Structures are given as structure tokens and as C-alpha cells.
Structure 1
Amino acid sequence: MNFTLLITVILTAVTLVAGAYVIAKLIGPRSYNKIKGEPYECGIPTHGTSWLPFTVGFYLFAILFLMFDVETVFLYPWAVVVKDFGAAALLSIGFFLVVLVFGLAYAWRKGDLEWK
């Protein structure tokens, strides 16, 4: 198999990204000072460390969002080809949706969707 086109595309992409990075470093403005290196907290000076632990609720909410976001990614290609596969496609996506609904019901019953 001839990979010339693939290698050309990869080399072009790497060259353009590296070139843009080098040009930005060469002609970009530079101002280094102590204030610029501090974390931004709405203009208020920081007190203590800026590394504060997040509650598990943030992570759980993000994972649930990603789960249902990925669901839509899988539903779109299925909707495009559903006519070609008939009842088998309908059963498979039905099973997929049932599993997701059970997951949503579990998270809801457990109280993970309530923002505390």
C-alpha cells in the first residue's frame, strides 16, 4: 500500500504547527512579571494556596455529562443507516438506550443529579 499521501499530510501538519509556534515565539510580545505569574481569581489577591480540592460531585456530574454526550455521538451514525439494517438496528439501538436509561435512573435514584 502506498502511504505517500498520508506521510505528506502528516509532515505538512507538523510543519505548519511547528512553524506557527516558532513564529509566535519570535514575534509575540513578551512581558514577564510577578503579577502575571499569579493565578487569576476575579481580581482579588489570593490568600493561601490556590490548589483547593474539588468535591466528587463535580467529577461525577462531568462523567454523567460525557456519558450522555457520547450517547448522541453513537446515535447520529445509527440514525443515518437505520433504513439499511432494518429491525436488527432498531433492536440494537433499543438495547443501547435501555442500558443508558437504567444508568440514568440509577444515578437519579442515588441522588447524583442533585446539585448540593
Structure 2
Amino acid sequence: MLKVTFTALLSMMIAIMLIIICSIISKKSILDREKSSPFECGFDPKSSSRMPFSIQFFLIAVLFLIFDIEIVIILPMVVTLKISATSTWILTVMLFTFILIAGLFHEWNNGMLEWAN
């Protein structure tokens, strides 16, 4: 128990020392308008260099990730078909599918899948 306490205390001390050293030697840069603006031949830019990000792309990416995770959950269900009771397996698959369809219906009703508003 003493070794575990000593190791935890030593690792905390090393981490705190590294944080302090990094904060001391880190260079503080003063951000001004000229340094943070994009360079365009010495003139002020005609338009904003930052393009607005469409939230629709983000929503589609989140939906894609959700469906990928759902596929990862569904695939082992096929393997467990042989070793589980048929009625329990069917009930589980139907419940999971119902939850997926209800979520898709909810997104559809809220207009999340509409590309153009």
C-alpha cells in the first residue's frame, strides 16, 4: 500500500512540476489586428477569410456516426442468435429496431433531414 501511495504522490508531483515549467517557459504572444489577420499583399482583405460552416454538414456527420454505432451494436446480435433463446433474441432485435425507427421519425418530424430550409 505504501508503494502505491508513493507512486501516486510521485506521479502527481511530476505532473505538477511539468505544468509549472511549461507555464513559465511558454511564450506569451500579444495578438493584435495585424498578426491575426490573413496576409493579402499588405492590404486589408476584401472579404472574410473564414467561410461560414453550414450546420447541415455537422448534423449529417452526427447522424452518420450514430448509425455507425448502431451497426456496431447490431452485428453481434447475429452471432448471438445461435446461443440465445429465439423469443428473447427477436424481442431484443425488435425493440432495438423500434428505437432506431422512432429516433429517425423524430429527426424527420423536426426537419433535421431537410437539406434546404
**Which TM-score tier does this pair reach, normalised by the shorter chain?**
0.5 to 0.7
List structure 1 segments (4+ residues) > 3 angstroms apart after TM superposition: 46-50
Q: How far off is 1:81 after superposition?
A: 1.3
Note the residue ranges of structure 1 that are not aligned, 5 or more in a row: 1-45
Two-structure CA RMSD over aligned residues (Å): 2.2
2:103 corresponds to:
103
In the TM superposition, what whole-angstrom CA distance separates every residue of 1:29-51 from its partner, at most 9, and x where no partner exists? xxxxxxxxxxxxxxxxx964543
SS of 1:112's equivalent?
A: coil
Q: How far off is 1:83 after superposition?
A: 2.2
Give % identity: 37
Instruction: Give the distance between the partners of 2:90 and 2:113, measured in 1 at CA.
Output: 29
Q: How far off is 1:89 after superposition?
A: 2.1
In the TM superposition, what whole-angstrom CA distance separates every residue of 1:66-97 from its partner, at most 9, and x where no partner exists? 11121111111111111211222221221111
In the TM superposition, what whole-angstrom CA distance separates every residue of 1:1-57 from its partner, at most 9, and x where no partner exists? xxxxxxxxxxxxxxxxxxxxxxxxxxxxxxxxxxxxxxxxxxxxx964543231221
TM-score of the superposed pair, with normalisation by structure 2: 0.52
1:8 corresponds to:
none
Kindly report which structure 2 residues correspond to 1:28-107, keeping only aligned pairs within 5 A, or say none: 48-86=47-85, 87-107=87-107
One-letter identity of the residue aligned with 1:98? F
Instruction: Give the distance between the partners of 1:92 and 1:100, measured in 2 at CA.
Output: 12
2:21 corresponds to:
none
1:43 corresponds to:
none
Instruction: Give the distance between the partners of 1:58 and 1:89, measured in 2 at CA.
Output: 36
One-letter identity of the residue aligned with 1:106? H
Instruction: Give the distance between the partners of 1:53 and 1:78, measured in 2 at CA.
Output: 42
TM-score of the superposed pair, with normalisation by structure 1: 0.53
Q: How far off is 1:62 after superposition?
A: 1.0
One-letter identity of the residue aligned with 1:78? M
Alignment: residue pair count: 72
Q: How far off is 1:108 after superposition?
A: 1.0
One-letter identity of the residue aligned with 1:81? T
